[in-house]
Amino acid sequence: MSAPTASSPASAPLIRLVLGSRNRKKCGEMADLIAPPWERRPWMDRIEIGSLDAYPDLPEVVEDAPDFAGNARKKASETALATGKWVLADDSGLTVDALDGAPGVYSARYAGEPCDDMANCRKLLEALAATADAQRGAAFRCALAVSDPEGNIRLEADGQCRGRIIRELRGEGGFGYDPMFLIPEYHKTFGELSPLVKHQLSHRSRAFAHLRPRLEKLIAELASG
């Protein structure tokens, strides 16, 4: 996704921000949430969004931090140093109350390598098979980090969304554990909600809501410097 072009220097893209993920569905969500249609601002046109598709030979960052924030920082910093670009990285996952926070930082590879959404969902359903509905509370969590081209972390934000793990998969939308994560107020899973509604409720949306004003301030500082 690229920001709209403009002829005047005041509105021309100021930085190219590479999204530090090869998950295209996640990158699509991230690009939408940097400049959401319900909160459009002029400063958003100063950012040109890129992806790791432009860097096919870039090695994968080993996500070995003990928490989401640590993995987000590591991905942002290492990818920035490797590309020489500003990088926005996230680490996110599902924490289930009855499983003492699992799968947590192992959410993407819960069922092993290579990562497989359906296998992960099946394993989670099996792990919770004997758990009563009232004890199936869970939270999606997201940590964001922005690194400058020298690998320095300049911005961080996080967010979470509470819900419940149901006993079957419902809906074709989203990715990962979305079809089994129920939002009780809507009586629908993330897989059933429209993208617009999900973007306004999700852990990633809430993290970006914290990040956007900080990103706006950073853009202003870069423009004036």
The DSSP result for 61-88, as a single string, is PP---SSHHHHHHHHHHHHHHHHTSEEE
Q: Does 3 map to a domain?
A: no
Is 91 one of the catalytic residues? yes
Q: Are 188 and 182 in contact (CB under 8 A)?
A: yes
Q: Does 6 map to a domain?
A: no
Q: d(Cα 136, Cα 154) in Å, to the nearest integer?
A: 37
Q: How far is CA 169 from CA 138, 181, 196, in A?
A: 15, 9, 20
Q: Does 7 map to a domain?
A: no
Radius of gyration, alpha carbons of the chain? 18
Catalytic residue among 32, 90, 91, 158: 91
pLDDT at 12: 65
Q: Does 10 map to a domain?
A: no
Q: d(Cα 149, Cα 77) in Å, to the nearest integer?
A: 8
pLDDT at 2: 43
Q: Does 9 map to a domain?
A: no
pLDDT at 67: 97
Quote the domain boundaries for residue 49: 15-224
Q: Does 130 map to a domain?
A: yes
Q: How far is CA 213 from CA 2, 207, 218, in A?
A: 20, 11, 9
pLDDT at 225: 72
pLDDT at 10: 55
pLDDT at 54: 92
- Binding site annotation covers 210? no
- Binding site annotation covers 178? yes
- Binding site annotation covers 22? yes
In order along its 225 residues, the chain shows pLDDT tens digits of 443 333 344 556 788 999 999 888 889 889 989 988 777 788 888 899 999 999 999 999 999 999 999 999 999 999 999 999 999 999 999 999 999 999 999 999 999 988 899 999 999 999 999 999 999 999 999 999 999 999 999 999 999 999 999 999 999 998 899 999 999 999 999 999 998 898 889 999 999 999 999 999 999 999 887
Q: How many structural domains are present in the chain? A: 1
pLDDT at 11: 58
The residue assigned the tokens 């706006």 is 216
Q: Does 5 map to a domain?
A: no
- Binding site annotation covers 175? yes
Please give the model's pTM, rounded to 2 decimal places: 0.88
Q: Does 101 map to a domain?
A: yes
Pairing of strands 86-96, 188-189: unpaired
- CATH number of the domain bearing residue 137: 3.90.950.10
pLDDT at 223: 87
